């Protein structure tokens, strides 16, 4: 079944924020927090500075009614800067790869693809775009999304 979640970006305090949200909603993380140091290296990928290896790459917490919030720390070494407007994305998890591509193509038309759809190391087909109104959309399809 398809899902929608809310993705939050932080300037180095994701873990603190999510521990706070965990206490507020009285829920548990879906999986252990993944840190940047846990990312397998890829050919052509620049090494992360030591001060960014301990930052959060991904965390997920259920809140209400089946909705999940997810989060990450922005990485200045990758040119990311947190500012009002880029601190939140809508994450779509469609039921099929075809629907994922359809939504990505439609929403990026007149906007821009930040990260084209591609297979990622965590086992998902993933991409991200800004629509023509400046809203950030993330797409995450896994064959077990159903």
The pLDDT tens digits for 57-67 are 999 999 988 99
Structural domain contains residue 79: yes
In a domain, 21, yes or no: yes
Q: What is the DSSP string of 2-57?
A: -EEEEEEEESS-HHHHHHHHHHHHT---SSPPEEGGGSPP-TTPPPPPHHHHTSEE
Structural domain boundaries, residue 62: 3-141
127 lies in a domain?
yes
CB 103, CB 115: distance < 8 Å? no
pLDDT score at 26: 92
Query: Does residue 146 form part of some domain?
Result: no
| Single pTM value for the model | 0.73
How would residue 145 be classed by pLDDT, with cut points 50, 70 and 90?
very low
Domains: count for the chain: 1
Please enumerate, as own/partner, the contacts of 119-127 that have beta carbons within 8 Å and a separation of 24 or more: 121/39, 121/40, 121/42, 125/97, 125/100
| pLDDT tens digit sequence for 43-62 | 887 788 899 899 999 999 99
Length of the chain, please?
Answer: 146
CATH code (residue 41): 3.10.180.10
């Amino acid at each position: 079944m398809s899902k929608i979640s809310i993705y939050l970006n932080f300037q180095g305090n994701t873990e603190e924020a999510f521990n706070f949200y965990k206490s507020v909603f009285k829920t548990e993380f879906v999986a252990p927090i993944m840190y940047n140091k846990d990312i397998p290296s890829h050919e052509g990928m620049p090494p992360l500075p030591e001060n960014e290896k301990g930052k959060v790459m991904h965390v997920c917490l259920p809140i209400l009614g089946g909705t999940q919030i997810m989060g990450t720390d922005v990485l200045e070494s990758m040119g990311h800067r947190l500012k009002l407007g880029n601190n939140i994305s809508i994450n779509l998890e469609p039921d099929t790869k075809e629907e994922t591509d359809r939504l990505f193509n439609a929403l990026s038309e007149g906007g821009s693809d930040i990260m084209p759809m591609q297979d990622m190391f965590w086992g998902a087909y993933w991409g991200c775009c800004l629509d023509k109104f400046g809203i950030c959309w993330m797409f995450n399809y896994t064959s077990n999304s159903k």
